[in-house]
Amino acid sequence: MLAFIGLILPNARIVHCRRDPMDNCTSCFMYNFSDALGYNADLTKLGQYYRQYDRLMRHWAKVVPLAIHDMPYEETVADLETRARGLIGFFGVKWDDACLHFHETERTVRTPSRWQVRQPIYSSSVERWKLYGDALDPLKAALGPLVHL
């Protein structure tokens, strides 16, 4: 997809939101997606899908001549203002303090995490996967070297 975007929109800017693989996959596992997306109901399969996503993003970053800005979740919740200013700067637009008050918006939000949009940034989801202990061993095995213990 990024290769196609690079062809039709050579000046496009891409924001790559990243999260710790264990936390990301645990969150996906906890959410009841459509049966058509059943990969998230199996920890091993979920880890395999994540590894493919990671491989693909590393490949695209090397071969696609697009500006890609990484937004690591953990760094964002630890220091929202710095990460938000970096993102706004990446797009070359003027800073607006409202970026730090996103949770006060009254716009309609239609995503599975819509309740989170109405809350200030919180860090309680960082390393949340550790609460589940050995139950996530199949996921750890499938993620292999991507797991940061």
**Tens digit of each residue's pLDDT (9 = 90 or more) over 98-138:** 999 988 888 888 877 777 778 888 898 999 999 999 999 99
Q: Is residue 92 part of a domain?
A: no
Q: Is residue 121 part of a domain?
A: no
Q: At residue 116, what are phi and psi to the nearest 5 degrees?
A: -70, -30
**Tens digit of each residue's pLDDT (9 = 90 or more) over 63-89:** 988 999 999 999 999 999 999 999 999
**Tens digit of each residue's pLDDT (9 = 90 or more) over 26-66:** 998 887 676 666 677 899 999 999 999 999 999 999 998 89
* Residue in 14, 11, 29 with CA at minimum distance from that of residue 135: 29
State the total domains in the chain: 1
pLDDT at residue 94 tops 90: yes
Least confident of 21-25, 49-53, 92-96, 113-117: 113-117
Q: In whole angstroms, give the CA distance from residue 96 to residue 23.
A: 30
Q: Is residue 19 part of a domain?
A: yes
Angle at 139 between CA 111 and CA 131, to 5 degrees: 75
Tell me the pLDDT band of 148, cut-offs 50, 70 and 90.
confident
Q: Is residue 130 part of a domain?
A: no
Q: Is residue 45 part of a domain?
A: yes
> What sign does the CA torsion over 133, 138, 143, 144 have?
positive
- pLDDT value of residue 30: 86
Task: Take residue 49 and report the two structure tokens written for it.
Answer: 């899908």
- pLDDT value of residue 120: 87
- pLDDT value of residue 62: 92
pLDDT at residue 149 tops 70: no
Q: Is residue 101 part of a domain?
A: no
For residue 29, the enclosing domain spans: 1-78
pLDDT at residue 20 tops 90: yes
- How far are the Cα atoms of 81, 88, 91, 107, 108 from residue 95, in angstroms, in the given order? 11, 6, 10, 20, 23
